Amino acid sequence: MILTTGGAGFIGSNFVLDWLAGAGEPVLNLDRLTYAGNLENLASLRGDARHVFVQGDIGDAALVARLLAEHRPRAVVNFAAESHVDRSIHDPEDFIQTNIVGTFRLLEAVRAYWSGLPAPERAAFRFLHVSTDEVYGSLGKEDPAFSESNRYEPNSPYSASKAASDHLVRAWHHTYGLPVLTTNCSNNYGPYHFPEKLIPLCIHNALAGKPLPIYGDGQQRRDWLYVGDHCAAIRRVLEAGRPGEVYNVGGWNEMANLEVVTTLCAMLDAMRPRADGRSYREQIGFVADRPGHDRRYAIDAGKLERELGWKPQETFESGIRKTVRWYLDHQDWVNNVTSGAYRDWVGKHYGD
Q: What is the pLDDT of residue 195?
A: 86
pLDDT tens digits, one per residue of 175-185: 999 999 999 99
Residue 67 is part of which domain span? 2-188+224-252+294-313
Q: What is the pLDDT of residue 273?
A: 98
Q: What is the pLDDT of residue 290?
A: 84
Angle 316-329/198-208 helices, nearest 10 degrees? 50
- 350 tagged catalytic: no
133, 139 contact by CB (below 8 A): no
Mean pLDDT of all residues belonging to the chain: 94
Q: What is the pLDDT of residue 291?
A: 86
Spot the catalytic one: 31, 86, 133, 223.
Answer: 133
Q: Which ranges of the chain would DSSP assign to H, the alpha helix?
A: 10-22, 61-71, 85-90, 93-95, 103-115, 119-124, 157-176, 198-208, 227-240, 257-271, 302-308, 316-329, 331-337, 340-350
What percentage of the chain carries pLDDT values higher than 90? 86
Q: Which amino acid is at 118?
A: P
CA dihedral 6, 225, 86, 281 (to 10 degrees): -130
Give first-to-last CA distance, the chain, whole Å: 47
- 40 tagged catalytic: no
Q: Is the pLDDT of residue 350 over 60?
A: no
Instruction: Give the CA angle between residues 166, 169, 173 to the nearest 5°.
Output: 140
Q: What is the pLDDT of residue 346?
A: 53
Q: Is the pLDDT of residue 344 over 80?
A: no
- 70 tagged catalytic: no
pLDDT tens digits, one per residue of 41-55: 999 999 999 999 999
252, 312 contact by CB (below 8 A): yes
pLDDT tens digits, one per residue of 152-176: 999 999 999 999 999 999 999 999 9
Closest by Cα among 248, 235, 243, 291 to 85: 291
pTM: 0.94
Tally of domains within the chain: 1
* Residue 162 included in any domain: yes
Q: What is the distance between the alpha carbons of residues 331 and 204, in angstroms, rounded to a whole number?
A: 9
Q: What is the pLDDT of residue 347?
A: 64
Closest by Cα among 28, 33, 71, 19 to 51: 28
* Residue 156 included in any domain: yes
Q: Is the pLDDT of residue 351 over 60?
A: no
* Residue 262 included in any domain: no
Classify burial at 109, counting beta carbons within 10 Å of its beta carbon; exposed 0-12, middle 13-18, buried 19 or more.
buried
Q: How confident is the model at residue 130 (pLDDT cuts 50, 70, 90)?
A: very high
* Residue 308 included in any domain: yes
* Residue 79 included in any domain: yes
Q: Is the pLDDT of residue 348 over 80?
A: no
Spot the catalytic one: 136, 158, 192, 280.
Answer: 158
* Residue 51 included in any domain: yes
Q: What is the distance between the alpha carbons of residues 322 and 329, in angstroms, rounded to a whole number?
A: 11
In sequence order, the 6+-apart residues with CB closer than 8 A to the CB of 1 are 25, 26, 27, 28, 71, 72, 73, 74
pLDDT tens digits, one per residue of 20-35: 999 889 999 999 988 7
pLDDT tens digits, one per residue of 13-22: 999 999 999 9
* Residue 65 included in any domain: yes
Q: Three-state SS string across 93-142, please?
A: HHHHHHHHHHHHHHHHHHHHHHHCCCHHHHHHCEEEEEEEHHHHCCCCCC
In sequence order, the 6+-apart residues with CB closer than 8 A to the CB of 255 are 221, 222, 224, 263, 316
CATH number of residue 148's parent domain: 3.40.50.720
Q: What is the pLDDT of residue 352?
A: 46
83, 44 contact by CB (below 8 A): no
pLDDT tens digits, one per residue of 318-341: 999 999 999 999 998 998 887 655
pLDDT tens digits, one per residue of 52-96: 999 999 999 999 999 999 999 999 999 999 887 888 998 899 999
Q: What is the mean pLDDT of residues 99-123?
A: 98
* Residue 234 included in any domain: yes
Q: What is the mean pLDDT of residues 273-285?
A: 97
Question: How do beta strands 2-5 and 27-31 pair?
Answer: parallel
Q: Is the pLDDT of residue 277 over 60?
A: yes
- Name which of 244-258, 266-280, 286-300 the model is least confident about: 286-300
In sequence order, the 6+-apart residues with CB closer than 8 A to the CB of 337 are 38, 40, 194, 195
Strand partners, 181: 128
298, 142 contact by CB (below 8 A): no
pLDDT tens digits, one per residue of 218-259: 999 999 999 999 999 999 999 999 999 999 999 999 999 999
Q: What is the pLDDT of residue 4?
A: 98
